[in-house]
Each structure stands twice: as C-alpha cells, then as structure tokens.
Amino acid sequence: MRNKIPSFIVSFVGIVLIAEYFIDAPFLSTLASELKNWGVILGAAAIVLGIVNIVVVNMRAVRNKKADAASTSLLFIALIVFGALGVFAGTEHPLYQKMYTNMYIPMATTIFSMKIFYMLSAAYRSFVAKRGEAAVMLGISLITLITIVPIGEQIFPVAPVILDWLQNVPNVAGQRGILLGAALGSFATALRTILGYERSNVGL
C-alpha cells in the first residue's frame, strides 16, 4: 500500500493537469490551480532541502579532509551572503545586484568561454586520430574562435558570414531535431509515470 500511494498521487496530478488543458471546466481549472500552488510550495521546500544537503555534504567532506577547506569556506560564505541578501533585502537591492554583476556573471562567462577551448582541444585530439566528425568540429571551433576575437574579422573577413550560416541553418536544424526527440522522450516518460509503469521518479 505504501508503494502505491506515491504512484496514485503522481497519476492523479498528471491526469488532472492534462484534462484541465483540454477540457474547459471550472472545477478542473480550480483544482489544477491548487495543485500548481502545491507544486510551487514543494519546489521551495526542495530548494531548502538541497541547501541543507550541500551544507551537510561539504561539512562532512571537510571533517574527513576530503575537500579543500578554502573552497568550501568560500562556498559557505557565498551561500550565506547571497541567501541573506536575497531573502531580507530582495534581489533588487543594489549590493545584491553589484555582487551578482561583478562576481557571478564574470565567473559564469569565464567558465562558458573555457568550454570553447576544451571543445577545440578535444576536436584536435580526435582530429589526430583522423576522424571526419572531429575535423568538422575542429573547423567550426576555429571559425567560432576567429569570429569572437576582435582581430578575427581582419584575419578572415568571411568568418562572420560562415558562422551566421552555421548558426541559422545546420545549428537550428540540429536543435529542432534534438528538441523534438527530447519532447517525445519526455512525453513517453510522463505517460509511463501517469500509468504507473515508471516508478523510479517517485523513489520506488
């Protein structure tokens, strides 16, 4: 019985939300709105549990000397400062915005930029192995790098045109195929969950 209750709740919520989308009935709209509010509350509770889990795991790692104490301390400081400012002062507070703009965005941009070099390095290593796919990836990586640097257009003036075509034609076609496949996979997983065949999502 204990194993059936989570599956019943998931199936009930899924059926109600799907029915509310296709059927114009006031009681379904009210029930679906209430379920969505519960979902927001559960999501907020999950975030709190996630924060607690981060603290517990990192504290245990520091205690067992499996983690860098400086990095873990920086994580805790950032978590406390950003959390306190966001909760008590609001995300529109000047100090919060200044920290977000001057700390988080540069670090996120740096990590994102490093991905290009990792991709280029992986493509080069694969290119040495004489793989055709690696040659294509290496060429696209070089064009991207040449385009984003200020002197790139002077070295290779046609690079922006080629990059624009790559982004708007093959890239868009590939993204649509990936999104379509992901949507079909999500639909199949949701249907299996609603029907009770997929229980891993509810911890069973």
Q: What stretches in the chain show pLDDT beneath 70?
A: 1-3, 66-67, 123, 126-132, 134, 152-153, 198-204
How much is the pTM? 0.55
The three-state secondary structure class of 116 is helix
Cα 64 versus chain centre, distance: 30
Residues 6+ apart with CB under 8 A from 124: 134, 138
Q: Would you state the pLDDT for residue 129?
A: 55
The three-state secondary structure class of 203 is coil
CA 138/CA 64 separation, integer angstroms: 43
What are residue 115's phi and psi, to 5 degrees?
-60, -35
Domains in the chain: boundaries? 1-92, 112-191
Q: Could you give the percent of the chain with pLDDT greater than 70?
A: 85
Residues 6+ apart with CB under 8 A from 103: none
Q: Are 62 and 71 in contact (CB under 8 A)?
A: no
Q: Would you state the pLDDT for residue 57?
A: 81
- For 42-79, the DSSP string reads HHHHHHHHHHHHHHHHHHHHHHTT-S-HHHHHHHHHHH
Reading the block at residue 57, the tokens are 């795991």
CA 16/CA 8 separation, integer angstroms: 12
Q: Would you state the pLDDT for residue 181?
A: 92
> Long-range contacts made by residues 81-88, C-beta under 8 angstroms, separation at least 24?
83/51
